[in-house]
Amino acid sequence: MEKKVEVSILCQIYGKLLTKKQYEFIDDYYNNDLSLSEIAENNNITRQAVRDIIKKGENKLFEFEEKLLIMKKTLDQEKQIQGIIEELNKIKENSSDKKIEKILSNVTKELICLN
């Protein structure tokens, strides 16, 4: 997974555990696509200070994920749900019973909501 996407997801999961500045700077840098210079200018600090705050925040996010594995578990669950949906669709395609098709459609819709 691309680092930018990974950090963005980790920030959504663990962002509230960061300091306010770490969260804001990471959000601005990864989600709002601001440069280090733009963030520095907006906060009246140096570009290097912004970089240091972002790096410390990133390190915390990766430490949290290493210990708690919330992102990994979520991604694994999404893969499992997608696999189940694919199997249900195969059954639905090969079924001629309308009741079974309706039940499979309802279950599929519920799984899609979880995904």
- Is residue 57 pLDDT above 90, yes or no? yes
Residue 99: DSSP 8-state: H
29 and 11 Cβ atoms separated by less than 8 Å:
no
Q: What's the chain's average pLDDT?
A: 94
65 — phi, psi (to 5°)?
-65, -40
22 and 56 Cβ atoms separated by less than 8 Å:
yes
pLDDT digits (tens, 9 = 90+) for 67-80: 999 999 999 999 99
* pTM for this predicted structure: 0.80
- Give the residue extent of every domain in the chain: 3-68, 74-114
Q: Which 3 state secondary structure label does DSSP give 104?
A: helix
3-68 fold: Arc Repressor Mutant, subunit A (1.10.10)
Flag the least confident range among 25-29, 64-68, 75-79, 109-113.
Answer: 109-113
